[in-house]
Structure 1
Amino acid sequence: MHMKKYLLTLLSVACFCISSQAQIDYYFPGEEFDSAIPSPQSYLGYEIGEWHTRYDRLVAYFEKLAEVSPMAELKTIGYTNQLRPLVVLVISKSDNIQNLENIRQNHIKLVDPNQNMPDVSGMPAIINLAYSVHGNEPSGGEASILTAYWLLASKSELAGEIRNNAVVMIDPAINPDGRDRHTNWANMHKGFPPVADPLDREHNEIWPSGRVNHYWFDLNRDWLPLAHVELQKKIEWYHSWYPNVVGDFHEMGTNSTYFFEPTKAFSSENPVVPRKNYEEINSKFAGYFAKALDEIGSLYWTKEVFDNSYPGYGSTYPDIQGGLGLVFEQGSSRGHIQASQRGDITFEFTIKNQLKTSIATMEAGVREREYMHRYLREFFQTAVSEANSSRTKSYVFGDLYDESRNRLFLKLLLDHKIKVYENTRDISLEGQQFQKGKSWVVPTEQPQYRMVRSMFEKVTEFADSVFYDASSWTMALAYGIPYAAQGTVTMGEQITALPDRVVEFPQDGKYVAYLVDWSDYFAPKLLHQLQEAGIHVETSAKEFTSNTITGEKEFPAGTLVIPTAFQKLDDSKLHEILKSASEKSGVPVFATTTGFAVKGIDLGSNNVSAIQVPKVIMLIGQGTSQYEAGEIWHLMDTKVGMPISKVDISLFGRVNLYDYNTLILPSGNFSALSISQIAHIKDWLNRGGTIISLRMASQWLQSQEIVKEEDLQLETVKDPDFVSFGNRRDFEGAKAIGGSIYKGKLDITHPLGFGYRSGEIPVYRNSTIFFKPSKDKYQTPVRYAENPLMGGYISPSNLEKIKQSASVLVSPVGNGRVIHFIDNPNFRGTWFGTNKLFFNAIFFGNKI
């Protein structure tokens, strides 16, 4: 028996070795490698593609490469929400690794047109290979391991040429948290042998998928808004280097082959990017990719579908920074092997294609390096010259009442290296007032002119009517910041960093009440801190002017009133907690020694009432939108610091809604709820509960007759009897609303309008859900303006529907109410201008 076991062991080892050599030949046929560099198999204990590699093991292998090779250096640029390191492996010849800072300083001279042009003939190409921004697109992350090994260990002429003439920076995973979520899923469901059936559990992740990060966001949309730490750190790193070439590696449906750029001309391209990028440079690089995939017989396609218009993609942002962003899409095995229309697709096959285009990207970057260096300088030179020929010479922005939102927008501009200056005079433009000290100037004549356009321009004319994603992304509108274009430019000192915020706070004393203006974006954060500390807080339903200890001040509806007479704490402790909350939130607190108002209601008015402490539950899980749920979770975590209970639909049978006063329903299908569970919701709602529903959730509530709102039905132009089959996508796609911005009319006297100073508000819409305004004339707090389109594409028939529909409405149900957000107020963690509508629904919902 012992001899038999020994022979079996020898046989299994022999089989593994044969398999190992076969896989080396599969990925690197005919190549020789430096034995001093450990191969992935020797370090990890398995061949790449045999298992999905955990992120910690991937990083450990990169650490090993940096340890054993003088041609590699591993840099940690930040950490994820789950404290996984965000790493970049830098590979070049050893002289370059020892001289990285000088190389960087010389390279970024190309970005500044005011500096003398350096000699580019000897400058290395700066190449960034970025993988796994979507965590469940794992072939890229595995290819990063093989790419790093090949570049360091291969004895080929090409590998040596790249090491000598490039600084290659490898991001193995922009989204490590999501990647590990998918990695664990695929590995825990792997069969022996693996199962190719697409219905097998391995190929069908549960909710939330590995695509998204910790907060369930799609990070490939975050390069512009920078809502998340992963991209905040990535952009900080990016602007320290300005790579010439950025590879952005993705996966797509299993039945597809391989996609690389160019994308569809004009309709898939960003309007501020020079035509040279699309018509000349893309074509130049495409030849390298075609050759690489032709060598192994892999099929591919180009010039179709994939979008490069939205600046927040990893393949578009580099195009607006003088580099070349390249999107790669591999048909996914979504596991270790999966059946497709062309036969079984293996994990190894998907990795091999990503490896080939990774090497081809480096080869192209090196061979075209002088050309790309000159283009980098040309890009920023032409940006300044384009600005000079523009009639708009500057933008002025600033909110008179919301310093927090001003600072948030200012930080966004600075993070994108946009030059901002103090405004030195009071200005009236387009019916808006911009005060000295509370507004800023962004000149268009600057190297980042194209990013300035992305932040402020409103675009409504397009080459196409079909959009993969958003058709509008004006960030000033998303922030709800008042702004205007100027044909002149007058400015003060440049703002190079976000200034410290000094919040004045009243001295300890004998006061009747403390007052907080709800206009400040972070006022909800302060309110939560006070309620958590057990402080009684009230709010005013009407505006008033109070004689505070610092002078008369006007307060709008929604103002927080903290009376000193009704607190369980003594005055000193109350003062201490208020001061701490003010410092943490950055929100000013005012004090008054009288309840008598100079103008408007007094503090003892019946229009001042207690704010209930929110007890919030959100239903999530299969069938609901992980994006919308994540947006809400992220909003309450990062902007309010308030925990909410996230409960899976499958566990709703254990929920007693009477433990909560607010139920949030993100978009989705709640058909998993039983008749008795729906009855429980109805009873709770009738007894005074508040439901906050988004988009499709409102349709579900309507289908269950929980609310009795009406869909908007208009006579539309009849479709022609015949449309060619080949044009069906464009014809039907034009009927969708792919993300556009509209002017809403806001009732600032409604509890959902508390804290707003203007009756106009930009809203974001990306659905064709249309509800009629409420039959109750008081309960449509946000409807659309007569000419609502502010940015993006919309068909004429959909535009007519928007004009007659509601953006936000309220359905009274018994003693409760349902607050419907037909437009998402929290879209991608970016819409600071509409977040307050959602905050108001949570804190003031029971006052409607």
Structure 2
Amino acid sequence: MFFRQNIFLVAFVLISSAFFSSVTTSAPLSYYLPENHSYTAELLKPSAFIGSEIGEQHLRHDQLVGYLSHLASQSNRIKLTEMGKTYQQRTQLLLTISSPENLANLDTILADRDKKSYRAGNDPVVVWLGYSVHGDEISGAHAALIVAYHLAASQDKSIEQMLKETIIVIEPSINPDGMDRFANWANTFKGMTANPDPNHIEHHQHWPSGRTNHFWFDLNRDWLLLSQQESQNRLKYFHQYQPNVLGDFHEMGANGTYFFQPGIPSRTHPLTPKENTKLTQDLAKFHAKALDANERLYYSEESFDDFYYGKGSTYPDVNGSVGILFEQASSRGQQQDTVNGLLTFEYGIKNHVLTSLSTIKGTWVERNVLRKYRQSFYQDVEELAKKEKIRGYIVYESKDLYRLNAFLDKLDQHQIDVFPLASDFRLNSKLYAQQNSFFIPLNQPQFRLIQAIFSTQKNFEDNTFYDVSGWTIPLAMNIEFAAVNRAWGLKLAEQAWQPKAKQKQEFTGGAYAYAIEWQHFLAPKLLNELISQGVKVKVANKAFSSIVKGNKKDFKPGTLVVLAGTQNTDEWRVLLEQASNKNQIPSYALTTGLTINGIDLGSSSFRPIEPRKVLMLGGNSVSQYEAGEVRYYLDNQLSIPVSIVEPQRFMQIDLADYTHIVLVNGQYGSMPEKVTDKLSHWVKNGGTVIAQKKAVGYLVKHNILNAKVASKQQLDTLFDTDGLRYQDKEKLAGRKRIAGAIFATELDLSHPLAYGYDRSILPMFRNSTIIIDSPAEPFVAVAKYLPDPLLSGYTDQNLVNRIAHNAAIVAHNLGKGRVIATSENLAFRGYWYGSAKILANAIFFDKAFSVTTKE
């Protein structure tokens, strides 16, 4: 009996152990903190403030801010700064941690770090730690809380000494909106008993994921582009602190271990100094030592790259800092079974704590080397600039001051000096008019960053890319630019360009009509504001000339006209004046309907523009990035609301309410047949569908778009594989891929979808191998690739040749409706102002053209 009872007891214990091993557990604060440190009892521990141990649940952003704000209020080692607000009005927080003496003199210390006059001395070295730029990579934000407590509360003498010589800047959550989206998801599906099953819904977010911000942008691609306000808010503080080292803390797939840079050596941008890589390697020894001591698995130098300067770990490299990427295998919830065993949330948090502290320690130990590196980075500029064949770049844009000023403002945010011309300048037979031309000299502290922004390099030591290989910002914004190889005849203003306040437009009341030119970037916004408020607006499909203030004024096709005699509201003049001033677009008063050239104002060639209502297909099969980019352009920049509907709700929607449906890149192969039939029927009855990238193939397959798209098999035949060995597999895959490059297209400027463009050459961004063959029928192609189309970035010559001469944008009728398709990403990452206007034209001028095709 005793034996049987003991057997039962042992069995119960074994079963209980197996069961309770997966019960949700949490680690005490001591699990994360270094050993042999004593901590002041005056500062509240995180668990006492939050009500749970770190890692027990996924903290919301308000909990993170609440504790760190409390900690800062109680510690003389912390200065709390609010950098700004996200789109959803969450606070972007910055903690500066150092000795009380350094914090008291912080403004002076930072002023002495000025790029132009910096001299390496005994000033404090600065290390910036940025966490969870991808909101669902949330272990970093939790690690930030622990690191802040450790630095504020530790009584260890080594910490006190280090703080006297170091300034630590902590950005605890780079993406607060995405953080909360993921925290709410993980906490919603977290059970009382932990479920490590990788198939559990806790580990699989719905669309859009917490990775992105409010507009579904990847903020880790926005440091250079600055399309999102979170990035703009941060950047001014980055340049204020000018860190010596920046740690960028991420998560990767669950079956990984832990990664820290350097990455693959051959995939570093050539503008990054070699010493930067050496310093990264030196600091890596500190990370390895910390992880070794805790018996943690890790690796480096065999993944990721250091090429694209728009990421948190690479932007510092072109700004005198050393950027370091850290990647922790992600539990994407509380626990997850992996090839390396059970991965817990606490385990990932601790890894980031370990490497955060190793980054701080390594920066402190190597402070003299890092100071000298930063000094030489900027002081070598003058000699490096003298060796270049060019003196700088001239930029020019006369028709759209919004686009020009937006470009100059980006340069200003990057602390690049831009000088207006003091007189006209002739270069290579082209005259650059003083009032619309600006010069960016290479010889200034941001020498390397200028080169990166204007670079049109096409081949590199290693042509395999983790991210884009070409991002030339003036090409993206369709700003004309040229390299200047001489200073002779170039006269510049003494003061660098500065953003100007809005100016009130002169508005003439009582006119017969008002004309608004379409080349302005915000003209679609102005148009939508007017028609949404009941103002009647027409578009000119042919050119005309009128007298404006006693002088002849030519108006191109695409010009908007507001006619006094067609309005139904007495407030229309007030609404027009307000919209003109708000968008800084002039409204030209016309005193008569009789023009001096071209069509008269009563001509049928002026077509009325009715209000638009846009629907976009969303959901798990659709790219959240491209959906976010289109939404950002239409909603944020043009104030055009976009209704997003998933395929499963599509059949319940009355499509008669919508004028346009947008299909961005996605997997449409599993789209139910009834959804496709409904879409086709809607187009044939007058709707307009706009498709890009993989959505093009979907429309072709179902006979909605009359076009031919190159198949994968056809593209594979472009590459000779004879003699290749297994070691060539990755290189071949890189050749077959277009990671991101810029191509030149030629627009048909007579086509309504090209209204507002003055130059026929339009740069377009391409990050796929989708190729639309040149249509056999006339008038279908709105834009075609040039014979030698590659402008910037790497693409294998076989693909370049296959793309050449083929179509970039096609459009035709389908029944009473229109189908508009492009192989490109028109609004890529929110900074492609040049091609984004095609989207606006497709929305407002879709019925201004008519092209029938043979089915």
Deviation at 1:374, TM superposition (A): 1.9
Q: Cα gap change, 1:25/1:132 in structure 2, threshold over 3 Å: closer, same or farther?
A: closer
Match status 1:56 vs 2:62: yes
Q: Cα gap change, 1:433/1:618 in structure 2, threshold over 3 Å: closer, same or farther?
A: farther
Q: Deviations over 1:322-377 (max 9, x none)?
A: 01111111111111111111111111111111100000000011112222122212
2:474 to 473, 476, 487: 476
Taking only the aligned residue pairs, the percentage that are identical comes to 36
Find the counterpart in structure 2 of residue 8 from structure 1: none
1:282-361 equivalent positions in 2, closer than 5 A: 282-361=280-359
Find the counterpart in structure 2 of residue 536 from structure 1: 536
CA distance in structure 2 between the aligned counterparts of 1:719 and 1:503, rounded to whole angstroms:
62
Find the counterpart in structure 2 of residue 725 from structure 1: 726
Do the aligned partners of 1:478 and 1:832 also contact (CA within 8 Å) in 2? Answer: yes
Q: Deviations over 1:23-68 (max 9, x none)?
A: 5145434432221121112222222111111110011110111111
CA distance in structure 2 between the aligned counterparts of 1:356 and 1:131, rounded to whole angstroms:
14
Find the counterpart in structure 2 of residue 98 from structure 1: 104
Find the counterpart in structure 1 of residue 255 from structure 2: 255
Find the counterpart in structure 1 of residue 760 from structure 2: 759
CA distance in structure 2 between the aligned counterparts of 1:193 and 1:228, rounded to whole angstroms:
39
Structure 1 unmatched ranges of 5 or more: 1-14
Do the aligned partners of 1:392 and 1:486 also contact (CA within 8 Å) in 2? Answer: yes
CA distance in structure 2 between the aligned counterparts of 1:650 and 1:164, rounded to whole angstroms:
60
CA distance in structure 1 between the aligned counterparts of 2:26 and 2:219, rounded to whole angstroms:
35
Find the counterpart in structure 1 of residue 812 from structure 2: 811
Q: Cα gap change, 1:622/1:493 in structure 2, threshold over 3 Å: closer, same or farther?
A: same
Q: Which moved more, 1:645-654 or 1:346-355?
A: 645-654
- SS of 2:762's equivalent in the other structure is strand
1:184-583 equivalent positions in 2, closer than 5 A: 184-267=184-267, 269-278=268-277, 280-429=278-427, 432-489=430-487, 490=490, 491-502=492-503, 504-509=505-510, 511-549=511-549, 551-570=551-570, 573-583=571-581
Q: Which moved more, 1:465-474 or 1:494-503?
A: 494-503
Q: Deviations over 1:778-823 (max 9, x none)?
A: 0211110111110011112111111032111113211111110211
CA distance in structure 1 between the aligned counterparts of 2:670 and 2:786, rounded to whole angstroms:
38
Do the aligned partners of 1:783 and 1:807 also contact (CA within 8 Å) in 2? Answer: yes
Report the AA paired with residue 529 of structure 2.
Q
Do the aligned partners of 2:33 and 2:150 also contact (CA within 8 Å) in 1? Answer: no
Report the AA paired with residue 843 of structure 1.
F
CA distance in structure 2 between the aligned counterparts of 1:198 and 1:791, rounded to whole angstroms:
41
Match status 1:82 vs 2:88: yes
Match status 1:71 vs 2:77: yes
- SS of 1:812's equivalent in the other structure is strand
Match status 1:41 vs 2:47: yes
Deviation at 1:81, TM superposition (A): 0.4
- SS of 1:266's equivalent in the other structure is helix
Deviation at 1:439, TM superposition (A): 1.4
Report the AA paired with residue 63 of structure 2.
R
Report the AA paired with residue 612 of structure 1.
E
Find the counterpart in structure 2 of residue 712 from structure 1: 710
Report the AA paired with residue 521 of structure 2.
Y
Q: Deviations over 1:743-791 (max 9, x none)?
A: 1100111011000001111110000111112333102111101111100
Question: Number of paired residues?
Answer: 821
Find the counterpart in structure 2 of residue 635 from structure 1: 633
Q: Cα gap change, 1:720/1:370 in structure 2, threshold over 3 Å: closer, same or farther?
A: same
CA distance in structure 1 between the aligned counterparts of 2:134 and 2:440, rounded to whole angstroms:
34
The alignment's TM-score, normalised by the length of structure 1, stands at: 0.94
CA distance in structure 1 between the aligned counterparts of 2:758 and 2:25, rounded to whole angstroms:
69
Match status 1:823 vs 2:824: yes
Deviation at 1:428, TM superposition (A): 4.2
Find the counterpart in structure 2 of residue 662 from structure 1: 660
Report the AA paired with residue 72 of structure 1.
I
CA distance in structure 1 between the aligned counterparts of 2:718 and 2:415, rounded to whole angstroms:
47
Find the counterpart in structure 2 of residue 150 from structure 1: 150
CA distance in structure 2 between the aligned counterparts of 1:163 and 1:369, rounded to whole angstroms:
13
Do the aligned partners of 2:420 and 2:497 also contact (CA within 8 Å) in 1? Answer: no
Report the AA paired with residue 726 of structure 1.
Q
- SS of 1:562's equivalent in the other structure is strand
Do the aligned partners of 1:132 and 1:141 also contact (CA within 8 Å) in 2? Answer: yes
Do the aligned partners of 1:503 and 1:588 also contact (CA within 8 Å) in 2? Answer: no
Structure 2 unmatched ranges of 5 or more: 1-20, 850-855
Q: Deviations over 1:139-165 (max 9, x none)?
A: 111110111111111233442332221
1:599 to 597, 600, 607: 597
The alignment's TM-score, normalised by the length of structure 2, stands at: 0.93
CA distance in structure 2 between the aligned counterparts of 1:821 and 1:831, rounded to whole angstroms:
15
CA distance in structure 1 between the aligned counterparts of 2:27 and 2:54, rounded to whole angstroms:
12
Q: Deviations over 1:575-598 (max 9, x none)?
A: 221110011111111011122333
Do the aligned partners of 1:512 and 1:564 also contact (CA within 8 Å) in 2? Answer: yes
Q: Cα gap change, 1:428/1:742 in structure 2, threshold over 3 Å: closer, same or farther?
A: farther
Deviation at 1:548, TM superposition (A): 1.4
Q: Which moved more, 1:498-507 or 1:641-650?
A: 498-507
Report the AA paired with residue 702 of structure 1.
V
CA distance in structure 2 between the aligned counterparts of 1:21 and 1:597, rounded to whole angstroms:
79
- SS of 2:380's equivalent in the other structure is helix
Deviation at 1:720, TM superposition (A): 2.4
- SS of 2:779's equivalent in the other structure is coil
Do the aligned partners of 1:712 and 1:805 also contact (CA within 8 Å) in 2? Answer: no
Q: Which moved more, 1:390-399 or 1:495-504?
A: 495-504
- SS of 1:654's equivalent in the other structure is coil
- SS of 2:566's equivalent in the other structure is coil
Deviation at 1:574, TM superposition (A): 2.6
Deviation at 1:721, TM superposition (A): 4.3
Q: Deviations over 1:616-655 (max 9, x none)?
A: 1111111001001111111112211121212222211221
Deviation at 1:600, TM superposition (A): 2.6
Deviation at 1:676, TM superposition (A): 2.8
Find the counterpart in structure 2 of residue 9 from structure 1: none
Q: Cα gap change, 1:41/1:438 in structure 2, threshold over 3 Å: closer, same or farther?
A: same
Do the aligned partners of 2:120 and 2:372 also contact (CA within 8 Å) in 1? Answer: no
Deviation at 1:438, TM superposition (A): 1.2
CA distance in structure 1 between the aligned counterparts of 2:659 and 2:496, rounded to whole angstroms:
44
CA distance in structure 2 between the aligned counterparts of 1:226 and 1:437, rounded to whole angstroms:
26
Deviation at 1:845, TM superposition (A): 1.1
Do the aligned partners of 1:419 and 1:494 also contact (CA within 8 Å) in 2? Answer: no
Do the aligned partners of 1:539 and 1:558 also contact (CA within 8 Å) in 2? Answer: yes
CA distance in structure 2 between the aligned counterparts of 1:789 and 1:362, rounded to whole angstroms:
43
Q: Deviations over 1:476-503 (max 9, x none)?
A: 1011001111112321132342023435
Report the AA paired with residue 272 of structure 2.
V
Do the aligned partners of 2:32 and 2:353 also contact (CA within 8 Å) in 1? Answer: no
Do the aligned partners of 1:454 and 1:475 also contact (CA within 8 Å) in 2? Answer: no
Report the AA paired with residue 56 of structure 1.
D
CA distance in structure 2 between the aligned counterparts of 1:679 and 1:157, rounded to whole angstroms:
73
CA distance in structure 2 between the aligned counterparts of 1:618 and 1:51, rounded to whole angstroms:
35
Q: Deviations over 1:671-723 (max 9, x none)?
A: 55433332221111111110011111111112222223112365744532453
Q: Deviations over 1:168-208 (max 9, x none)?
A: 11101110000111111111111222111111000000000
